[in-house]
Chains A and B, each alone.
Chain A
Amino acid sequence: MRRLLALGATALLAVSACSVGSNAGGGTEITFLTFETPNLTPAYWDAAIKRVTDKNPGIKVKKLVAPTADGRTSYAKQLLQSGQFPDVLIAVDSAGFAEAGHLYAWTPGELKDFEFPEANPVNGKYYQLPANTQTIPPVYYNKKMFADAGIAAPPKTWDELVADAGKLKDKGFAPFTIGGGKDGFPSSMILSGLVGTEVYNTTPDWLTQRRQDKVKFTDPAFQHAFSKLADLAAKGYVDKTSVSRDYAATEQAFLDGKSAMYPMGNWFAANADSKKHDFEVGLFNFPTEDGKLVVPAYTGGGMIVNAKAANLDAAKKFALGFQLDKDQLDASVKADGLFPAIKGYTPPSDVGPTFKAGYELYTEAVRQHAIVPAFRWETADDGLLPGMKDKVDQAAQDVITGRKPVADACAFLDTEWAKAG
């Protein structure tokens, strides 16, 4: 019996020695949480990991995949609470994890190559690599439908947008593509644009003020912006049945020519340039009330590192290697339409026309200092409270489906904010 126990203990030790991270297969193993979308396929992640590990042969990476693209932060929380927090995570909201001491705080020296090293602070520290910028949302449009509806140029003001939507509808085209279902965010894309251009335009730190209870969702400014979404829905320009359509189906619907305009993050450019469709895709900045240039954008989305990683140095090295590698940045531009926020970086010359057009709109906005935060997408100290993103999507859906008037939807957000706080 004693011999049996000794044998068992030896076997257990051997197994744990292999699984605790080091020297598995001759390298230092780290776990890396990714997510998959129509753009970021398993092949993309495998190639990206290989690219970094080829340059760092001492690091071995075990890839983990979040069950849904939009639920990656929730999944990371589940992993943390079950004692399986990965060593490196990408595009996971750092808020919460950082305050509780689970994340490694990058030093200024480590962030020196990033264009916006002070993006997304949590209590004055920087936990998430500010790897790329995303404009959320520009509006992609079907040039053929616009031409058929007699629209000569994309709209610059809100009134022009509404008028164009009317012309498109009169011509028999569905004006906007939206989605929802298990991926809530395509429902709130128009709302993100409206809050960015109408609320953040004058109050860029609105969410910081919301955290301080200085403003509320029921305030006239927010309600006014929200009511424009309700107006689009009431006029039939936003199809309420689309709120059951998941993200992949939403994108496909636009590419299949089922509607004329698709408000979506700049990452859509990658698929607009690579996936099959029989029309030319154009894009314009989300219109403002008076035509002034205001572009909602979010810089961040990069990797965070588990402060208690068994191989912290390897995890940091992998994260920085991944985010700063030129080949990887080029790949992310082509696969996900990202705008790398790395000093001196220029996108490859062979990117598609939709990406180029979006990048030009963005660089012009940067030049004119017209960037504002992207509502619902902010993270860290100026972001929504944990759990509120889903509530924003739900509020947008309530207004689109006509289930709640704007005032009730805004009151719902205030109630949920109080609960989340």
Chain B
Amino acid sequence: MAVTRKPVLPRVGHFASFGAPGVLVYLCFVLAPILISFGYSLTNYNPFDPPVRFTGLANYRLLFSDEQFLTALRITTILTLIVVIVPNVLGLGVALLLDRKGWLYNALRSVFFTPVILSSVVVSIIWSRLLDDEGPLNTLLRALGVEHPPGWLSDPDLALYSVASIVCWQLLGFCVVVYLAGLQGVPAELLEAAEIDGAGPLRRFRAVTWPLLAPSLTITTVVLLISAFKTYDYVKVITNGGPGSGATATIAFDVLQTGFDANHVGYASAMAVLMLVIVAVVTSVVLNFLRRREVDL
């Protein structure tokens, strides 16, 4: 009987055959574009105005004195804070309400999840119709006696919050699903033990459920953070960055406008690279904090 010897070291080819496609895709579609963008950001690249000149960090220096960019940064920060906090809080609340058995709760889970699978453009079109000054919401408000209902999308002080609400509405279902999955993982015996020890519903949530939902919070926070930072589609479809100059223009929107409308690809690349750095830093800090919290618990 022939005895086959197991190789001591795993075969490199075996792993390469699994890993290579992924690595190749990552290199071509993630790493290479980032490096190319960084390269562009150090130039005055304008595809319609050759030649390309190396300008060093001039684009980056300009960014910090560009009022439009700083406004976009402020708007993105506000939008991100709203989009990270609101769906998390509401998602947890809805998940707690729906964490029961029965056809009604199953149906409601589907209702909350449906927006997640819709295209953001479709969502934007639907909501821009609903929030129009003469749309159903304001028509209802007028019928209820509100003489001057809010200009949800036309008031520069309100439009950003309207857009943020729409983003929150779509992402709520994602949070609900993640928290529901987290709630399924909370051992019933722990909750029962806490109840026997005399803990009420609030105490049980604070002492047992919430700590065990830490991984869910990490997932939702990081995903929401990244989604909020790259918000472009909602802004493009609903307000086109307005009303007026930069009321809702996020950095991602500004990048596309500067790169494709004004042809300043070099400058837009600097914006994109800076945005990447901000997202990377903020995400790392948040992730580090939340992960440490998970371990501490």
Q: How far is the CA of A385 from the CA of B263 in the complex (A)?
A: 10
Chain B 36-69 interface mask (CB, 8 Å, partner A; 1/0): 0000000000011110000000000000001110
Distance in angstroms between the alpha carbons of A416 and B258 in the assembled complex: 11
Q: Are A180 and B263 interface neighbours, CB within 8 A? A: no
Cα of A213 to Cα of B238 in the assembled complex, Å: 35
Known: A77-B260, A182-B238. A100 touches B67 (CB 8 A): no
Whether A214 sits at the interface, judged by CB under 8 Å, is: no
Instruction: Determine if B133 is an interface residue (Cβ-Cβ < 8 Å).
Output: yes
Residue B218 at the chain A interface, CB threshold 8 Å: no
List of A residues within 8 angstroms of B152 by Cβ: 244
Docked-complex contact A390 and B244, CB < 8 angstroms: no
Q: Which chain A residue shows the least CB distance to B133?
A: A241
Name the distance in Å between A76's Cβ and chain B's nearest Cβ: 10
Known contacts A96-B263, A182-B239, A397-B244, A244 near B49 by CB under 8 Å = no
Residues of A within 8 A of B139 (CB): none
Knowing A182-B238, A243-B243, A244-B243, say if A99 contacts B48 (CB, 8 Å): yes
A: interface residue count bin:
35 or more
Q: Is there an interface contact between A390 and B257, defined as CB atoms closer than 8 Å?
A: yes
Q: A244-B132, A401-B156 are in contact. Are A184 and B242 (CB under 8 A)?
A: yes
Instruction: Closest A residue to B150 by CB, please name it.
Output: A241
Residues A404 and B244 in contact in the complex (CB < 8 Å), given A181-B238, A386-B48, A419-B66:
yes
Contacts of B236 in A (CB 8 A): 182
Query: Is B246 interfacial (CB-CB < 8 Å)?
Result: yes
Tell yes or no: B237 within 8 A of A by CB.
yes
A78 partner, pick from B48, B151, B260, beta carbons under 8 A: B260
Q: Nearest Cβ distance between residue A60 and chain B, in whole angstroms?
A: 29
Query: Is A390 a contact partner of B133 (Cβ separation < 8 A)?
Result: no
- State how many angstroms separate the Cβ of B19 from the closest Cβ of chain A: 22
Which residues of chain B are near A180, meaning CB under 8 Å?
Answer: 154, 240, 242-243
Contact of A100 among B49, B151, B247, B261 (CB under 8 A): B49
Consensus secondary structure, chain B interface: loop
B49: which A residues are within 8 A, CB to CB?
96, 99-100
Asked if A100 and B242 make an inter-chain contact with CB atoms under 8 angstroms apart, the answer reads no
Q: Among the listed B48, B128, B133, which residue makes an inter-chain contact with A242, where contact means beta carbons less than 8 Å apart?
A: B133
User: Are A253 and B134 in contact, CB atoms less than 8 angstroms apart?
Assistant: yes
* Beta-carbon nearest neighbor of B240 in chain A: A182
B261 touches A390 (CB 8 A): yes
Instruction: Report A-chain residues with C-beta under 8 Å of the C-beta of B48.
Output: 96-97, 99-100, 386
Decide if B155 is an interface residue (CB 8 Å cutoff).
Answer: yes
Report whether B245 and A404 are in contact in the complex, using a CB–CB cutoff of 8 Å: yes
User: For residues 376 through 421 of chain A, which have their beta carbon under 8 Å from a beta carbon of chain B?
Assistant: 385-388, 390-391, 393-395, 397-398, 401, 403-404, 412, 415-416, 419-420
Q: How near does chain A come to B272, taking the closest CB pair, in angstroms?
A: 14
Contact A398 B261, beta carbon cutoff 8 Å: no
Decide if B262 is an interface residue (CB 8 Å cutoff): yes
Query: By the criterion of a CB under 8 Å from any partner CB, how many residues of chain B are at the interface?
Result: 39
Q: For A227, what are the chain B residues with a Cβ–Cβ distance below 8 Å?
A: none
Q: Does A368 contact B (CB under 8 A)?
A: no
Does A100 lie within 8 Å of B50, measured CB to CB? yes
Q: Is B241 engaged at the interface, CB distance under 8 Å to the other chain?
A: yes
Q: A312 → chain B, closest Cβ, in Å?
A: 21
- In the complex, the answer to whether B263 meets A401 with C-beta atoms within 8 Å is no
| Residue A218 is within 8 A (CB to CB) of chain B in the complex | no
Most chain A CB atoms below 10 A, which of B50, B153, B243, B262: B243
Write out, one digit per residue, whether chain A residues 75-118 have a CB within 8 A of any chain B CB (1) or not (0): 00110110000000000000011011000000000000000000
Query: Is the pair B244, A401 in contact by a Cβ cutoff of 8 Å?
Result: yes
Contact status A243-B154, CB under 8 Å: yes
Say if the beta carbon of A361 comes within 8 Å of chain B: no
**Cross-chain contact of A394 among B66, B246, B260, B263 (Cβ < 8 A):** B246
A255 shortest CB reach to chain B, Å: 14
Cross-chain contact B245 with A181 (CB below 8 angstroms): no
CB distance B47 to A398 under 8 Å?
A: no
Are B156 and A403 closer than 8 Å at their CB atoms?
A: yes
**Residues of chain A within 8 A of B50, CB atoms compared:** 100
Q: List 30 A-B contacts (CB under 8 A).
A: A77-B47, A77-B261, A77-B263, A99-B48, A100-B48, A180-B154, A181-B238, A181-B240, A182-B237, A182-B240, A183-B240, A239-B133, A241-B154, A241-B155, A242-B133, A242-B154, A243-B243, A244-B128, A244-B153, A244-B159, A244-B239, A246-B128, A249-B132, A387-B257, A395-B245, A401-B156, A401-B244, A416-B68, A419-B66, A420-B262
Taking beta carbons and an 8 Å cutoff, which residues of A are in contact with B?
A: 73-74, 77-78, 80-81, 96-97, 99-100, 180-184, 239-246, 249, 253, 258, 385-388, 390-391, 393-395, 397-398, 401, 403-404, 412, 415-416, 419-420
Beyond A97-B48, A99-B49, A420-B262: 4 further Cβ-contacts under 8 Å? A99-B48, A182-B240, A245-B154, A249-B132
4 smallest CB-CB distances across A and B, nearest first, come from A387-B262, A244-B153, A96-B48, A398-B244
